Amino acid sequence: MYKDEIDTDKLPQHVAITMDGNGRWAKSKGKFRVFGHQSGVKAVRDTVEGAAEIGLKYITLYAFSTENWDRPKREVNALMSLLVSTINKETKTLLNNNIRLEAIGNIEELPKKCQSELKEAIEKTKHGSRTTLILALSYSSRWEIINAIKQIVKNKVSEKNINEELFSQYLTTKGVPNPELLIRTSGEQRISNFLLWQIAYSELYFTDILWPEFRREDLFEAIYKFQQRERRFGKISEQLKEKN
Ligand code: FPP
């Protein structure tokens, strides 16, 4: 069991996941794509509960990208309804696990019902202190970066004050540590416009598991394997050893 192998004193603070493969999973079963998304909710629940179980501070899930709006209308509508019903139904799971819900992305683009469910769940779970679950919805990194630049210009920030720290404050992830680990399921090895600024030094972990079959043990495996890697941040191995 990977869970027992994890060093809980050295957990990443933040794990981000690109949930991919719902459509292919459904197709392999001779079902419609939407069935894959519905089954993906079980993977979301188990993974998020697993994150809380080991005390992960932040988990971000890429649930809907800006580019996903270009999918067939039927699929977009089904995904939006699924989001509304899942957020509504799962608020209890979040409260039971002491999890706080947050959202990043162009939330105003979402259907009104989706926005109101989201707002309500965020409000109800705001005291959750074990884990913060961040849903990336109508999110894309380039949108986020352009948005940050617009705000910086609007606030007439002087050039001499612009640095990495200031820029980070204008991103939707303001106050959230950068993910040390980014997981993508389904065998695709791409970033797809996800947290481009924030993953500058993240470890990338790709697994062939299709999202509907991903479970907490797979998260634990990714974290365990992350802990076996050496993160050098541009330095050499010996410099890191000197520090310890
Ligand atoms: C990618 O698979 C998955 C999505 C675009 C949607 C993810 C949504 C869920 C798992 C359901 C709801 C989630 C929450 C957080 C309540 P894909 O459709 O791109 O799969 P494919 O690459 O096989 O076509």
Q: Which CATH number fits domain 2-139+179-243: 3.40.1180.10, 3.40.50.170, 2.60.130.10, 3.40.50.150?
A: 3.40.1180.10
Per-residue pLDDT, 239? 87
Give Rg (Cα) of the chain.
18
Confidence of residue 244 (pLDDT cuts 50, 70, 90): low
In the beta sheet, which residues pair with residue 65? 139
Residue pLDDT, tens place only, 192-214: 999 999 999 999 999 999 999 99
Q: In a mutational test of the pocket of ligand 1, which residue from 20, 42, 104 has the highest number of ligand atoms less than 8 Å from its CB? A: 20
> The whole model's pTM is what?
0.96
CA distance 44 to 67: 21
Reference 107, options 82, 143, 58; nearest CA is 143
7 CB contacts (<8 Å, ≥6 apart)?
227
Residue with tokens 């106050």: 175
Where do the domains of the chain lie?
Answer: 2-139+179-243
Confidence of residue 243 (pLDDT cuts 50, 70, 90): low
Known active-site residue 20: yes
Residue nearest to atom 5 of ligand 1 (CA): 64
Per-residue pLDDT, 101? 98
Known active-site residue 7: no
| Given 46, 68, 88, 147, the catalytic residue | 68
Residue pLDDT, tens place only, 146-191: 999 999 999 999 999 999 999 999 999 999 999 999 999 999 999 9
Token pair for residue 12?
Answer: 């990443």
Return the percentage of the chain with pLDDT > 70, whole number.
99
97 CB contacts (<8 Å, ≥6 apart)?
48, 49, 52, 128, 130, 131
Using the mean position of ligand 1's atoms as its centre, give its distance from the Cα of residue 39 in Å: 9
Backbone phi, psi, residue 83, to 5° = -65, -45
